[in-house]
Structure 1
Amino acid sequence: MVSFKQLALLALATGLATVDAQSSTGKTTRYWDCCKGSCGWSGKASVNQPIQSCDKQDNPLANMAAKNGCENGGQAYMCTNQSPWAVNDKLAYGYAAVKLAGGNEGSWCCACYELAFTSGPVNGKKMVVQATNTGGDLGQNHFDLAMPGGGVGLFNACTNQWGAPPQGWGQQYGGISSRADCDSFPEKLKAGCHWRFDWFANADNPDVSFKEVTCPKAITDKSKCIRNGQTPTH
């Protein structure tokens, strides 16, 4: 019989140390609104620093209190490096707006979750996401996956930052409909847009089972946010 200690060592060896061994079921949607994430403000959670935000030209901002680009006169936007990417054929990394049953921003901001897709063309694949935002319109155990061209949803800073159409690229909810639509995107957003149609196989809101894991260093190196007491895995 494999001991709990052996399982923990195996998780560390694979770079996905489990924080909470219990899995829950959840749902996913997709978005990219270019706004500063709600986990980008100080005091939301016990972390080393808030999620990194960027200015209109996608340069990292030192001022964590900068006003959200979704508001008039705002200077802070979602950094383009918070786009998703493939680690291999079965695993991807990325970021998400999150809302979990029984929790609040203090419990999920900058935490990472391993999502195991259980439906659609990505069934059997996994994705590790870091919570960078909270969706006011999300249901419980809901992950709104950040991917360029995924639809702006409630808010839209993409028009101000990148000159996107008034309702964002494609439909307000759901975004663009084909890989070719990515070709007109800003260069820094193209790879994340292509990811949706390549690794993600244009899956339409697949279901997931999920559990909290220690964040991979590749994710926190981009977001700059680490929950206190955690050491990112390599």
Structure 2
Amino acid sequence: MFKNTTVKKIVIKHLPIKKLAIKKNIVSASLLLAAMQAGHAQAAKCEYIVANDWGSGFTATIRITNNGTSNISGWNIGWNYSDGSRVTSSWNATVAGSNPYTATPLNWNGNIAVNSSIEFGIQGNNGASKAQVPAITGAVCNSVVTSSVAPSSVAPSSVAISSSSRPSSSVVPVSSSRVSSSIPASSVRSSSSSSITVGGQACNWYGTVTPLCANTTSGWGYENGKSCVARSTCSAQPSPYGIVTTGASSSASVISRSSSSSSVVTIPSSSSRSSQNNSSTSSVVLGATCNGYATRYWDCCKAHCSWTANVPSVVNALPACGSNNSRLTDVNAGSACGNGGGSAHMCWGMAPFAVSDKLAYGYAATASGDVCGRCYQLEFTGQSHNSPGDPGSSALAGKVMIVQATNIGYDVGGGQFDILVPGGGVGAFNACSAQWGVSNSELGAQYGGFLAACKQELGYNASLAQYKSCLTSRCNSVFGSRGLTELQQACTWYANWFEAADNPALKYKEVACPAELTSRSGMNRGPLNDIKTSCN
């Protein structure tokens, strides 16, 4: 950040050289250099975008787009809130200050190529009833754009609707609801546009026609306001994918399966099934049409659905566990993430597990509402929600996961499933360090956990094998070395079955819950017969 001091305030020619202090020489030179750099470096559009606003808090994305003629090497920006808002956490940048704030790059996102952009995220507390959108300042910014997307419909509430058929308090601690821990997993902006930037040719990226980059030589890029893939990266795909001829058309089409018919996938399993009020997992009917994506978290907190006031009267609340993973008999035990430092944690039995090489079960946080105990079938498309070219998401294509909702998130929107994965990131609340006896640094990135830490360590163009190896090593180091076998297995499940996918895109639909999920959670909505067919 440069102060409002101008170069003309120090006029060297009017001072005898012998009287000019060394300090003034340094200041003068610094200011002159700053002015020269500012004139040369002002080549980027700087945007502040409110991603979610739930009244008391917010998340926002700050984007820097290089619309100049030369690469940007290094950046330093700042902003100031006038309403008392304060930043509480950040990701993909080093944020300093207590208002005003400054942000500088990490070791992998300091350079911005022409027609490319970088993003980083922040979370904070609102100073007023609505998230403020401050101006972004800095020598790199030639045009400052402040914008805000539609706020999330997920609002925090400490009041849960209580059923009159059972005695329970309708006031539930705020800490029973969580903030998603892995949305900000990538600094590369994704785009839903499919316009082709290279005349006559495009990239068939695992079934989706994607623009080819004109300037980026490797990996994924962001040119002319759109995501694109380099020719070398596109050509490295196995047949039948790769560079395709598109003719004169300026828009790309998406290759997808027909929604007019459903496919049935048989899932062999030797485990027994309960036929009453639960679905049989011997077959999975594909054909989900709602668009969504999966994120990940594990904060060791008592879940929203563990409070009796948050579940229907005919449904049991989700059990909570103590620090040693033993089930608690007191359903009103305070959350370990609460202000009073309660004893209730998430039980380790909520970890995901594989049924076969194509089907897995687990639990997730979803958007707010009457969600406790509902189950959703997630059909992974092979794309990532916000990390273009993610190799893990590509490898996950064709797999199916069924999750049961056990929690809600303040910033979890419709179509988002924040899957419980040990090592997936603690997010805004962290009871794991105390429960597991680990340091904060061992938990990886606050948002995104082990995988996000691996990507920061290896960079965003490493191979899938490298990401899996790094992730598995962290799983073994944190959980295996402490004898936390159940958590270690679930953590390596993420590396193996889930292919270390980073926020994969998916199609989803609500389904009847498999017996394997309801038997673990104790939540069975079957008697309600209230499966919804609409997208949430």
Match of 2:70 in 1: none
Matched, 1:152 2:426: yes
Asked if structure 1 preserves the Cα contact closer than 8 Å seen for 2:307 and 2:332, the reply is yes
Match of 1:118 in 2: 381
Q: Amino acid of the residue matched to residue 397 of structure 2?
A: N
Equivalent-residue separation in structure 1 for 2:359 and 2:447 (angstroms): 25
Asked if structure 2 preserves the Cα contact closer than 8 Å seen for 1:36 and 1:53, the reply is yes
Q: For residues 115-194 of structure 1, what are the structure 2 equivalents within 5 Å? A: 115-119=378-382, 120=393, 121-166=395-440, 169-176=443-450, 177=454, 178-183=471-476, 184-185=478-479, 186-194=484-492
Match of 2:209 in 1: none
Q: Amino acid of the residue matched to residue 291 of structure 2?
A: T
Matched, 1:37 2:303: yes
Overall identity of the aligned pairs, in %: 42
Match of 2:334 in 1: 67
Unaligned runs of 5+ in 2: 1-260, 262-277, 383-392, 455-470, 530-536
Asked if structure 1 preserves the Cα contact closer than 8 Å seen for 2:361 and 2:517, the reply is yes
C-alpha deviation, 1:43, in angstroms: 2.1
Q: Amino acid of the residue matched to residue 292 of structure 2?
A: G
Cα-to-partner distance string for 1:181-209 (whole Å, 9 max, x where unaligned)? 11121223101101000100100010111
Query: Given the alignment, which residue of 48, 53, 57 partners 2:320?
Result: 53
- Higher CA-based Rg: 2
Match of 2:502 in 1: 204
Equivalent-residue separation in structure 1 for 2:424 and 2:282 (angstroms): 28
Match of 1:5 in 2: none
**SS at 2:410 equivalent:** coil
Identify the structure with the greater strand proportion: 2
Equivalent-residue separation in structure 2 for 1:172 and 1:84 (angstroms): 20
C-alpha deviation, 1:91, in angstroms: 0.2
TM-score, length basis structure 1 = 0.85
Q: RCO greater where, 1 or 2, for CA within 8 Å and sep 6 or more?
A: 1
Unaligned runs of 5+ in 1: 3-10
**SS at 1:43 equivalent:** helix
Equivalent-residue separation in structure 2 for 1:22 and 1:152 (angstroms): 30
Cα-to-partner distance string for 1:14-72 (whole Å, 9 max, x where unaligned)? 45788xx9631111111111111111111213142111111111001111111011123
TM-score, length basis structure 2 = 0.38
Asked if structure 2 preserves the Cα contact closer than 8 Å seen for 1:16 and 1:213, the reply is no
Q: Amino acid of the residue matched to residue 472 of structure 2?
A: R
Q: Please report the RMSD computed on the Cα atoms of aligned residues, expressed in angstroms.
A: 2.2
C-alpha deviation, 1:12, in angstroms: 5.1
Q: 1:14 to 1:56 in 2, by over 3 A?
A: closer
